[in-house]
Amino acid sequence: MITLRRLYQINSSRIFQHIRLNRGISRIAVASDLDLDRSTITKVVRQLMEDGLVLTTGKYHGKPGVGRMATGLEINPNFGLVLGIEVQAEFCRAVLVNLDGQVFRSTRRDYPEGPQGVEERVVDLIEAAERDAAKLGLPLIGIGVGLSGIVDPYRGEILFSNPLGVHAPIPLAARVAERTRIPLLVENDANCCCWSEMAFRRATHGRNFISVLGEFRDIDIVEHRRRGVAVGLGIVIRDNVLHGDNFTAGEFRSLLYDPDRPSNTQFSITNEESYRLPDDGETLRRVIDELAFNLSLLVNSLDITKIVVAGDFSRFPAEIEPAFRRAIERNWLYQHWDEYARDYPPIRKSCAVEFSPDGENSVCIGAAAFFIQKLFSVPGMTDHVDEAVGFILLERVLALRNSAKA
C-alpha cells in the first residue's frame, strides 16, 4: 500500500515536472492537466517557490475564453548548477550548466598517467567545480558522470570498461559519496547523448530515436595507444533510454566485422586503416557506409524517427547524412509499395538525421542532462520503481543546500 509520504513525493514530482514541460502554465491549468485538487497544487507550489525551484512569470493566457488571466509558473533555471563530467583514458572534460542547459564553465584536464584513478579524477573535478560555482554565486546541486563501458546507472557502478582499464565493478557513486555529499549519477557515454536530447531539445517526433556517439581516440590502452575510431549507440524507445537487462544495450560491433580476421576495431577495417582516421577520406567513407548499413536495420525494425550524431562524428554532416538516408531507404521494406498498391497512399520512411550542437562536449553536457532529467522524473515511473528521482532527489539537494547555509 502506498504511504501518504510517497504519494506526496509522487504528486510533487508530477507538479514540478509538468511546470518544467509547460513553461508559463498556471496553477489552475496544472490542477486540471494532472487531475489534482487545487489545494494540493497551491501547497506544493508554495513550498517549491520558497525553496527557489519555481518562479512566477507574467500572465498565463491558457485556452481562449473569458476571465482574468492567471499568473504563470516556470522552473528557476538558476536554482543551481549541475556538473557534467566525461572520463576518457588520458583526459576528462567537464561543464557546469544550469537547469536549462546553459553552459557556465567548460574545462578539459589531461591525465597523462593513463586510465587509473577514475575516482580521484572525479573528486578533483568536483572540487574545482565547487570553487567555480562559488565564484558564480550559485550552488552546485548535482553531478553526472559519463564514460565508455558497461555501467549500472541505478547503482552508480562501472561494471566494465576496456578504455579505462576497469575489469571489476567500481561503485563510483558510493565511493564519491563518502568524500562529498553532492548527489552523483553515472551513465554510459552514448546514453548521455540521449539524455541531452530529452532534457534540452525535446521534439514531438523524437520519442523513438538513436544517438550515435562516434569518436576518434586511443582504442587499445593496453598495448600501443594508437589512434582509432570508437562508436557507441544510445537507444530511446518511447522516451525511455534502453539499458538492457545486462546494461549492454547500445554496445556496437558491425555485422560486417570478420572474427576470422580479428582487429581492435568495431568495423571490418584493419587496425592499420583505423590508425589513419579521420584524415584518410576513403577509410572514413567506408566506416560511415558500414555504420549506415548497420543502423538501417535498427531504424526500420524499431520505427526510429530520429538519429542524433554526436561527438567527433558531428563534424562530418556532409558525409554522414546522405549515407544514412541511402542505407535506410535501401533497407526499407515498403519502398516500392506504391507500385503494387496503387489505390493506397505510399508508405514512406521518415527518419530525421540531426547533429548535436554540443560538439566535443556532447558527453559531459549529456551527463549533466542525465542528472537534470532524473531530478524532474516521477518516483515509481522509471525502469526501477525504487529509484531515488524527482522529489526524493530534490530533498537530498535541499538538505545539502540548507546544511551549506548553516
Domain definitions of the chain by residue range: 4-75, 81-192+362-405, 201-359
Percent of the chain at pLDDT above 70? 88
Domain at 81-192+362-405, CATH class: alpha beta
Nearest to 311 by CA among 199, 212, 210, 198: 212
User: Tens of pLDDT along 345-359?
Assistant: 667 788 999 999 999
pLDDT tens sequence across 14-56? 999 999 999 999 999 999 999 999 999 999 999 999 999 999 9
Domains 81-192+362-405 and 201-359 belong to one CATH topology: yes
Q: Which three cell numbers stand for residue 262?
A: 580479428
Over residues 322-344, mean pLDDT: 80
Mean of all residue pLDDT scores within the chain: 90
Report pLDDT for 336.
65
Among the four given CATH numbers 1.10.10.10, 3.30.420.40, 1.10.1040.10, 3.40.50.300, the one describing domain 201-359: 3.30.420.40
**Structurally, what CATH architecture does the domain formed by 4-75 represent?**
Orthogonal Bundle (1.10)
Query: Residue 92: what are its φ and ψ, rounded to 5°?
Result: -135, 145
| DSSP per-residue codes, 340-404 | H-TTS-------EEEE-TTGGGHHHHHHHHHHHHHHTS-TTSSSSTT---THHHHHHHHHHHHHH
Provide the pLDDT for residue 64.
47
What is the model's pTM? 0.92
Reported as a single tens digit per residue, the pLDDT across 231-258 is 999 999 999 999 999 999 999 999 999 9
pLDDT at 221: 40
